[in-house]
A and B are shown apart, each in its own frame.
Chain A
Amino acid sequence: MSPALLAAEDIGEPAVNIAIFAGFVLVTLVIVLRVSRRKAGASEFYAGGRNFTGPQNGVALAGDYLSAASFLGIAGAIALFGYDGFLYSIGFLVAWLVALLLVAELLRNTGRFTMADVLSFRLAQRPVRAAAGLSTLIVTFFYLLAQMAGAGGLVALLLGVDSKTGQGFVIAIVGVLMIAYVLIGGMRGTTWVQIIKAGLLIIGAAVMVVWVLGKYSFNVSDLLGASVDKAGTGGSKLLDPGAQYGKSSLTKLDFLSLALALVLGTAGLPHVLMRFYTVPSAREARRSVIWAIWLIGIFYLFTLVLGFGAGALVGPKEIAAAPGKANSAAPLLAYELGGTVLLGVIAAVAFATILAVVAGLTITASASFAHDVYNNVLKRGQVTSEGEVRVARVTAVVIGIVAIVGGILANGQNIAFLVALAFAIAASANLPTILFSLFWRRFNTRGALFSIYGGLISCLVLIIFSPVVSGKPANPATGKSTSMITDPSVDFHWFGLDNPGIVTIPLSFLLAIIGTLTSRKSSTPEKAAEMEVRSLTGAGAEQAVAVH
């Protein structure tokens, strides 16, 4: 296992990485302090006063979306599996068209702060809000856990912290910083952190892309050829589909399932949907998605070059043996290209990414708890805007602590499935209800409840009994299974796929239809008309808070 010793002392200078990251934290904290308003009502805390422009929010959306999983994860997947890694990014990008065409503007026109605002608009308030709030919390929690656990893996590589205790300490620092951003800055501060981080990430990636391409005289075919040569025997597989998912008909079906969850999940992710409320109008919401699509699309083209560049210049075997495995592809490439300083910059950007994304997730979860569960379900909407924000702040602290503990416990776990699961739940439990309540007049409360709970339960059950939790064959080198439960003798899986989307997404659409058709209760014509007119015309939509 000598390549595994390619640990932190060999690559870069942890002090440099920490210094650059500390600089980012300092600058963003100053900005958050400067932009924050002391007396924050709900519109300020949850939606940043709805004063962001479309382009600003578009950059922030890209910041929210380009998480560590998509930056480090996709570059790594391309470096190791070539073409199959590239497939991921396409699903992640095309998904934005669902948000652009079917969801963003209509949601902005009808809702106030959360996804549940739209789902419960013309249906029975308390049951639908409770269901939508629960699904928001679950999706956000899985996403959050994945980011926090990912931070632990990165620490090993970038800061030279090898002990689990030390990594746990760094996870705790990330959590505390995240709570600080959310409490001080609310949505306004969080949005600025996202904007800065997205800018750094895209510029950093662009520099590396030009650098890599320059090494191959800007000939992409030569770059691909070099990565094939570096991979050695079987390297030509990188250029074609199948290196990761082509093993059997079951893995192919699994890929189809993942592809479906990716493309339909984005428009159901609560932290993405909540961003549409930070702009003053549906028109600005549209502009923000357009900006996000361009930025995210260009960034994924960058990751294609970075992934193959890492494959060609570092080599898949070296990457797989490094402490962060696939996640270390981009940092290792940075070190190969620009040495200590570029590695420090990329490492800091990677941390900033995690920090910004977890802050965005925390504000979403706390808004949903305070606004949906606490105020509208438990207190029947009797709480004032200030009271709601107070609860949201406390919730943010609680969520932060839970995320720190969860992240420390999940450190070193296989985390990719947590993100895939979040997408599968978003596509199954959230998207059908969003679409039907916007586009199907007959759609009613029972349809929504069937779909949300059906999607949630079926996803969770299928995941628990899938190979990601138990029953993957043991790795001959370590004798441990690659499932969550690493003991190969524990095997209770009966569902063959890692991703449940191909079953649960059609199922919850079907449940929505069955529930609707079997219930004679429908929304009042007044409410249905109001939602339809508001969603399309923008009449009665929430206004931006006046700037003082």
Chain B
Amino acid sequence: MRLPQGAAGARVLAFGHYQPANVVTNDDLAKTMDTSDEWIRSRVGIAERRLASPGETVVDLAVQAGGKALAGSGLSAADIDLVIVSSCTSETPVPAIAPRVAHRLGVNAPGAYDINAACAGFCYALAAASDAVRTGSATNVLIVGAERFSNWVDWTDRATAVIFADGAGAAVVGPSDTPRIGPVVWGSAGDKADVITIENRHSYLRQEGQTVFRWATTALHPIAREACERAGVDPAELDAFVPHQANLRIIDALARKLEVDKAAIARDIVQAGNTSAASIPMALSRMIERGEAPSGGLALLFGFGAGLTYAGQVIEIP
């Protein structure tokens, strides 16, 4: 047996994102449930979120974001040989989303699979893509985080209905002469599996908010710090900090504890809500678009959520 050559490192060539057109404000939600704009902004930090149109599926969201990342990368569909989609809200258990995204983007017969690591999914997919490029399993990988929570949310449950939303973010990963995607740090706490659940196909999303909040604001910052250490980067050097957009107070607590002094901090949740696997690539894609994340700078991506599971890595911003 022999193994392919692979590449010395991997890098992100481009990000892309897609938000559905339908804007839902806090005032819109207050018409049908006992909540208010003031309550949502102070507890969670969200001002508005997007929900997919009827008939607009997770595959549709993924195709839009994937297409934008591909366009931004300067590559063509023919250059992609692996597609990985991270999602936990698909309408369709079988087939996976990735082969359908590949087909619709004109990518010819790539490796294609989905992963489900909830809100840590994009960072897991990024690690898989980076590893595939470095070992020679693939040359250029399209990764997508796409979620359609409107399939799974109980619109009478204000604990979840005000938080979760729809969207997709994507990236193209390719080879690099030097490492521009750092080593992943990952882990899980399966003892807390019951804390965030969609139990079966007829269920709604449920979460124990305070337990998640306590875990996220205490257990995670040492791990995020370790992701920096493994990459040989001091958190104070980071140009961007992009944690999963779960709750603005969690984001601020993590940033405070990590002491990311000069980093632009992703607060995309304000305009996007919590979009699980989509939240990190969407946030960074939009920060880059607005000129808040400098090309060539360093960003820490850190996802965490249902499982409970988490993963993160430092990358060079494309």
Q: Do A and B bind each other?
A: no
